[in-house]
Amino acid sequence: MKHPLALALAVALFATGTSLAHNAQAQTKADQAVTANAQSNANPFFQESPLPLQFPQFDKIKDADFAPAFDRGMADQLKEIDAIANSADAPSFDNTILALERSGRILARSTSTFFNLMSTDTNPVRQKLMQEYAPKMSAHRDAINLNPKLFARIKTLYGQRDSLGLDAEGVRLVERYYTDFVRGGANLSDAQKTRLKAINAELAELGAKFSENVLEEVKDSAIVVDSKAELDGLSDERIAAAAEAAKARKLEGKYLLTLLNTTGQPPETDLTNRALREKLHKASVARNSRGNAFDNTALVSKVVTLRTERAKMQGYPNYAAYVLEDETAKNPEAVNNMLGQLAPAAVANAKREAADLQAMIDKEQAAKGEKSFQLEPWDWAFYAEKVRKEKFAFDEAQLKPYFEMKNVLENGVFYAAGQLYGLKFKQRTDLPLYRPDTSVYDVFDADGKQLAIFIADMYARDSKRGGAWMNSYVDQSELFGTLPVVANHLNIPAPPAGKPTLMTWDEVTTMFHEFGHALHGMFSNVKYPYFSGTSVPRDFVEFPSQVNEMWADWPSVLANYAKHYQTGEPMPKELLDKVLAASKFNQGFTTTEYLGAAMLDQNLHQIGDAAQVPKAKDVMPFETASLKKDGIYYTPVPPRYRTPYFSHIMGGYAAGYYAYIWSEVLDANTVQWIKQHGGLTRENGDRFRATLLSRGGSKDALQLFRDFAGHEPKIEPLLERRGLTAPAAGEPKNK
């Protein structure tokens, strides 16, 4: 949930909390900062941005502005909180709950911008600020959540919630505040609160350090290649990009293969040099566990230990139980049951796929008169592409000329949104950018009124974290009269200067996926900022974005954007047919690598005794033992993220990485419903928007699904989509 007291910390990949002593220091510095800035409005965060829809003033924001804004923002909010908590008036919805919603505006503006920029364009100054302010901001949140007078007022209103004359959204807001304060420790004893603050302080520092280590290790683990010949198989564009990356690090005449944060690395698909593939893979899986300055194993051990202690203190059997209580899953048993249903079928399919890959290896080696070798993880992507070509007679290289990036965005992603929801988009060049390779669009509703502003940030860079995501700079709410400013971020390799940006099919579907998140934010139509946009449970938030992927290969949408970047010719129907026929190809691998990470996350956070948490030296053996216990251990298919670089579980997805597949169950049901009711129509779009996308967190998440689909979620559509079948007789079942 986008609780205003969370200070946008969910955006940052670290845990929260610290002590009141830190907070007192923050107040002292805040007083100094206010004095220093009292005669000046130079700090752009001290007032609302005058730009359209309060678009951030990126041209005026300097790194030096953040600390004064944080300090003043915390000081101002504490004064606001003190006035609420110590009011002589009896608690009311207006003087307590709405007052809390209105508090902390400077802090909200500055933290939102800061943490968004930390993810997409970090630098040493920002990293240092994050290290310094993570515990201070967490202390600030503790000072509010553990304020007994404030909680007493909220508790009173919670008991009266059905007699306050509120509508359903107002009642839910009271309930959510009460729940958040209880989960934040408001009912603990004074001694427990003191310990909780200390735990939170350490978690904040450890989480920030973990994220920094992941980023630095990605840079440090890049593979230097001496000659172009070793890069055989890569496209000319990718080789040129590797040369430029090496040049940027003063490695003239060499080539640099930089790493993404996933276990699998894109060049493994194309590199013919098996030794180099192996080197790339081993560098990837060894990250943050090499015993160097960026080793995260001790951090993982300490974080899990502290989370386990915190959960037990608050009355939960383990940290997963604490987290899942507030999700749609509700408890670890439900998650274990769902993952357990999928794991045996996924591994069985992966083994069948592996047999096909091994047959390809054997055939090729025999043709060369050479001894065959056993399939290894670094061979999977390379030979999967060969099998794909043989089975479906196409490869990714054939597709890419039809997927020029801007064309995919404007004539694919935007076009589908226009057909489904009536939206129109217009690029604008008058607003300041935080990076020159980003772009900005006005978004207009079907009635011609402005709905939002959308930022497209698509290119990979060293200062950007891995993966793809959506974030919000300004949230919609009736309370503040604000409309959304949202951004999508991908990590598409930038082409050499003057060359087009051609995308893989996976990057295309990712672009559609992330825009589904953007639509969730842009369509928000709620009263209170707490419920705005994607402020829904973690195991629900991926659902609308996954639904939006369905339009990537919808015939009328694809025909509108899949055109050759040089000739404008449409993608041949036979090539499209092959793409669609291959949609279930390699799903055993995809599902197994995902489930490996999801089940590892649960194993770490379902530990019920802090003494049982693995020590640093045991973190990697624990990972292997966990995967074997759950029947998901299969050597050729390692987890999508291994523990020391599993950034999701250091942040908002701790005990929640299962959310992607949980959401996909809802997604598969919804796609089935849409197809059964006419597909890409305004009627279907308007229904999805009205019943679900516009409601944010203002209603129970599963009820939103039921409102749209008219039934409870079923797992069968997901199994069918992924081509998963029951394991063959005699194959081990998941424990």
Residues assigned a catalytic role: 514
* Integer Cα distance of 451 and 453 in angstroms: 7
Contact (CB, 8 A) for 483 and 533: no
Q: What is the DSSP letter of 93?
A: I
Rounded CA gap, 9 and 131, in Å? 13
What does the radius of gyration of the chain's CA atoms come to, in whole angstroms?
Answer: 26
DSSP conformational letter for 482: B
d(CA 69, CA 56): 14
CA distance 83 to 150: 10
Burial profile 667-683: b = 16 or more Cβ within 10 angstroms, e = fewer: bbbbbbbbeeeebbeee
Backbone angles phi, psi at 259, to 5 degrees: -100, 150
Query: What gap in Å lies between CA 362 and CA 353, rounded to an integer?
Result: 14
Q: SS3 of 211, please?
A: helix
Please tell me what DSSP assigns to residue 316. Answer: -
Q: CA 357, 733, 702, 669: dihedral to nearest 10 degrees? A: 40
Taking the C-alpha atoms of residue 180 and residue 203, their distance in angstroms, rounded to an integer, is: 19
Contact 213, 294 (CB under 8 A): yes
The secondary structure element, H or E, covering residue 331 is none
State how far the Cα of 522 lies from the Cα of 730, in Å rounded to an integer: 50
CA dist., res. 261 & res. 268, Å (int): 14
What token pair was written down for 145? 């959540």
* Beta strand ranges found along 193-236 (DSSP E): 223-225
The residue with tokens 């003033």 is 57
Q: Which residue has the tokens 């007994």?
A: 148
469 DSSP β-pair partners:
489
Q: Which two tokens stand for residue 597?
A: 């990470």
Helix-strand-coil percent breakdown of the chain, rounded to 5? 60, 5, 35
Query: How many other CB atoms are there within 10 angstroms of residue 724's CB atom?
Result: 22
Task: Confirm if 299 and 210 have CB atoms less than 8 A apart.
Answer: yes
* 571 close to 558: Cβ distance less than 8 angstroms: yes
> Per residue, what are the HEC states of 5-39?
HHCCCCCCCCCCCCCHHHHHHHHHHHHHHHHHHCC
